[in-house]
Amino acid sequence: MTQKLDAIFQALADPTRRAILVMLLEDDMAVTDVAAPFEISLAAISKHLGVLTQAGLIQQERRGRVKWCKLDPSAMHDAWNWMHGFGQFDQTDLDALELSVEALLSEPTAQK
């Protein structure tokens, strides 16, 4: 597990990679489209996507000549879980937490 966390945090430590993740939050994207907003080479982006895939933060699927990238939140969740032990949540956090909980509780399938 610690090796997995190494990879996840390492992947998250780069601003370009975090920006990519945020973009993928919006929608799945092809490699070329991921690269478009950045000034670095396509090969560099390709490497970043490799790092993210290795860390399990995204999944890549090839369809034809296009390789689609989609977010995989489960790895992020592992990191989140590890950090969770450290949080003494203050009021600000509490608000966010309550919103999350309430949203889930109000879903049709949810039950107390």
β-strand partners of 63: 66
Q: Considering only residues 18, 19, 33, 76, which one is a binding residue for DNA as defined by CB under 7 A?
A: 33
Distance between CA atoms of residues 6 and 42, nearest Å: 25
Q: Cβ closer to a copy of itself: 66 or 97?
A: 97
Q: Considering only residues 4, 5, 16, 72, which one is a binding residue for DNA as defined by CB under 7 A?
A: 16
Quick one: which of 29, 20, 85 has its CA closest to 47? 20
Q: Cβ closer to DNA: 14 or 93?
A: 14
Phi then psi for 70, rounded to 5 degrees?
-130, 145
Q: Interface with DNA by CB under 7 A: which residues?
A: 10, 13-14, 16, 30-33, 39-44, 46-51, 60, 63-68
